[in-house]
Chains A and B, each alone.
Chain A
Amino acid sequence: MKKSFSLIEVLIFVTILSLFIITSVAIVTMSMHQNTERINMLKAVHYNEQLLEWIGNEKEVDWNAFIINAGDNTYCFKTDDMSWSGPIVLDKNNCMSTLGGMYRRYAVFNTSPSLDQVEVTVYTEWQEGGNNFSTKLETLFTVWEN
Chain B
Amino acid sequence: MGKLAWKSFTLIEIVIALGVIALVLPAVFSIFFSILRQQLVLLSYQEIKYQGDSAQRNIQNILQNRAAFITDSAYAIVDCPLPLTPTPTYSPDLYIEDRSQGFIHLYPTPVSPTPASGTAYIIASDSADTNKTFLKTYDLTSKDVTISNLGFSCHRINEFTPDIVSTRYTASKSAVFNDVSLIYTFNVRLRDY
Interface residue ranges, A against B (CB under 8 Å):
2, 28, 31-32, 35-36, 38-39, 42-43, 46, 50, 53-54, 57, 60-62, 80-83, 85
Contacts and interface: CB of A to CB of B under 8 A. Distances in A.
B21 interface: no
Given A31-B35, A32-B34, A35-B35, A42 B46 contact: yes
A28 B189 contact: no
B142 interface: no
**Interface SS of chain B: helix, strand, loop or mixed?**
mixed
Contacts of A54: 185-187
Interface of B: 7, 31, 34-35, 38-39, 41-42, 45-46, 49, 85, 157, 161, 164, 182-189
B109 to A, nearest CB: 25
A57 B188 CA distance: 7
B35 A43 contact: no
A62 B34 CA distance: 49
A61 B189 contact: yes
A28 B35 contact: yes
A80 B49 contact: no
A82 B188 CA distance: 15
A128 to B, nearest CB: 14
A83 B189 CA distance: 16
A46 B185 contact: no
A61 B186 contact: no
A126 to B, nearest CB: 15
29 contacts: A2-B7, A28-B31, A28-B35, A31-B35, A32-B34, A32-B35, A32-B38, A35-B38, A35-B39, A35-B42, A38-B42, A39-B41, A39-B42, A42-B45, A42-B46, A43-B45, A46-B182, A50-B184, A50-B186, A54-B185, A54-B186, A54-B187, A57-B187, A57-B189, A61-B157, A61-B161, A61-B164, A80-B183, A81-B185
A60 B163 CA distance: 12
Contacts of B38: 32, 35-36, 39
Nearest to A45: B49
Given A39-B41, A54-B187, 6 more contacts: A39-B45, A42-B46, A50-B185, A61-B187, A83-B85, A85-B85
B185 A62 contact: no
B49 A46 contact: yes
A132 B193 CA distance: 47
A11 to B, nearest CB: 19
Given A38-B42, A39-B41, A53 B35 contact: no
A83 B31 CA distance: 43
A124 B35 CA distance: 26
Nearest to A37: B42
Contacts of B164: 57, 61
A100 to B, nearest CB: 10
A67 to B, nearest CB: 15
The 7 closest A-B pairs by CB, nearest first: A57-B187, A35-B38, A80-B183, A42-B45, A53-B186, A60-B189, A39-B42
